[in-house]
Amino acid sequence: MSSTPRALAQAARKFAATSIVTIPQVAYTGMHVSSSHARRAILQQMTYYRHSHKACRALHVIASQAGGFATVSVQEAAKMLEEGWSYIDVRTPGEFSQGHPPGAVNIPVTQPDSRGGMTINEQFVASVEEAFPEKDTNLLMGCKIGQRSAMASQMLQNQEYINLANVAGGFDHWSGNGMPIER
């Protein structure tokens, strides 16, 4: 199968219509796509599917099955929260206190260092494992613009968490799109 955006969009539509998942391959109504190809599709081409909630969810399943994590829009994230996903906000406590998605749990991935900069929070993974011990928990990851949460998603993926979705644009897009906020 070609990895052109058009071919990926066609595959996503077929998958969304049938919702057939097999491990380690994803069945697309008679076509088989390897897990590595599916992972590339979700990580590199997600923008082509943002208009379709069902296709996004289907591609998130592919990414999870393939050992990757998805990147979802704030609209998708809001729907996923309604479906019972947990939201980990990896911003600093100061950023978190200024506003966050409803029900978000603050577990900072970075912390201030002695020079006034930021460094990786060495307790991040342990804190997530304490709060969410089941590695198959559905976790949305968010920060200010999406970069720290992508790094945090990768860290959790390396610890065998399998249902991860990074929120594209982070809290800036969340608040900018009128999504609900808690303080």
> By C-alpha distance, which of 75, 78, 51, 49 is closest to 62?
49
pLDDT of residue 112: 87
pLDDT of residue 116: 86
Give the separation between CA 9 and CA 12, rounded to whole angstroms. 5
Do 111 and 164 fall into the same domain?
A: yes
Q: What is the CATH number of the domain that holds 124?
A: 3.40.250.10
The residue ranking higher by pLDDT, 110 or 25, is: 110
| Residues assigned a catalytic role | 143
Q: Which of 18, 35, 67 is the last residue of a domain?
A: 67
Average confidence (pLDDT) over 21-33 = 32
Q: Which of 42, 67, 92 is the last residue of a domain?
A: 67
DSSP string spanning 111-177? Answer: EE-TTSSEEE-TTHHHHHHHH---TT--EEEE-SSSHHHHHHHHHHHHTT---EEEETTHHHHHHHT
Model confidence pLDDT, tens digit, residues 147-173: 999 999 999 999 999 899 999 999 999
Domain count, the chain: 2
Question: Would the pLDDT of 74 be above 70?
Answer: yes
Please list, in sequence order, all residues whose beta carbon lies within 8 angstroms of the beta carbon of residue 67, skipping any fewer than 6 positions away.
35, 39, 157, 162
Do 150 and 176 fall into the same domain?
A: yes
Do 106 and 59 fall into the same domain?
A: no
Question: Would the pLDDT of 178 be above 70?
Answer: yes
Beta-carbon neighbour count of residue 165 at 10 Å? 27
Task: Name the pLDDT band for 113 (thresholds 50, 70, 90).
Answer: confident
What range defines the domain where residue 116 resides?
Answer: 69-183
Question: Would the pLDDT of 104 be above 60?
Answer: yes
Do 157 and 83 fall into the same domain?
A: yes
Average confidence (pLDDT) over 82-97 = 96
Give the separation between CA 34 and CA 146, rounded to whole angstroms. 28
